[in-house]
Amino acid sequence: MQKEAERAGIPTALITAIPSVAKSVGVSRIVTGGGIPYPVGNPSLPRDREIEFRKRLVEKALEAISTEVKEPTVFNVSL
């Protein structure tokens, strides 16, 4: 799905818990997410810390979208 958006000229970033699959499929900008059932979150954190984590993930995704990449690249955020 995402590659079609890129083909149409819209830069995208994927937040996913399994960057290896995204990389092998050829997604260009990948952010390692929280977990499969909560890609933009982490329920083991206290609520306000989880929102802080979510913010960092989304900001990293926006950073990725603003970055020139040549091939599938994984961007990571610390917990």
Partner 1 sequence: MRLERGYFRIRDLLFGAETSLANGVLTVNRDELTRVLLKEDENTQVASLTLEIVKPGEDARIVHVLDTIQPGVKVEGEGEFMPGQLCDPAIVGTGKTHLFANLAVMECAELPWAGKSALLYARDAIVDMVGPAAAYSPFSETFNLVLRMTMKDGASDVEYDESVRHAGIRCARYLARLLKDRAPEETECFDFDTPVDPTLPRVAYVTQCQNQGTYSNTFLYGKDVGNIVPVSLSPTEVMDGCIVSGNYVWPCFKIPSFLQANLPVVMELSRKHGRSLDFVGVVFDRGHNNSHFEKQRIANLAASQVRKLGADGVVISWEGGGNAATDAMLTLQTCEKWGIKAVAFTFEFGGPDGTEGVLLVDDVPEAKFLVSGGSIEKPTLIPRVKRVAGGDALRLRKETGGEPEPADIERRLDNITPFYCGGNQSGIGRLAGVGY
Partner 2 sequence: MRIVHYINQFFAGIGGEEKGGSPLEHCEGPKGPGVGLLPLMGSEAEIVRTIWCGDNLINQEQERILSEIEKLIREVKPDVVVAGPAFNAGRYGLACGMVGKLCTEKLGIPALIGLFPENPAVEIYRKDAYIYPCAETAVGMRKDLPGLAKLLMRLAKNGKLGPAAVEGYLPRGYRYNEIVESNAAVRSIEMLERRLKGESPATEVPLRTFEKVPPAAPVRNLREATVAIVTGGGMVPKGNPDKLKQAFADSFGTYSIAGMDELPVGDFKGIHGGYDSTWVDEDPDRVVPVDVLRGLEKEGRIKRLLNEYVVLCGIGTNVAMSKKLGADIAEQLKRKEVSAAIYTST
Q: Does 34 bind partner 1 (CB under 8 A)?
A: yes
Query: Which of 5, 8, 15 shows the shortest CA–CA distance to 63?
Result: 15
* Alpha-carbon distances, residue 43 vs 3, 17, 30, 38, 40 (angstroms): 30, 14, 21, 8, 10
By CB under 8 A, residue 69 contacts partner 2: yes
* Per CB under 8 A, 75 contacts partner 1: no
CB of 22 to partner 2, least distance (A): 8
- Tell whether residue 37 is a contact of partner 1 (CB under 8 A): yes
Site string for partner 2, 16-45 (x = CB under 8 A): xx----x-xxx-xx---xx-xxxxxx-x--
- The one of partner 2, partner 1, none whose footprint includes residue 59, by CB under 5 to 8 A per kind, is partner 2
CA distance 8 to 51: 32
- Least Cα distance to 53 among 63, 66, 40 occurs for 40
By CB under 8 A, tell whether 13 contacts partner 2: yes
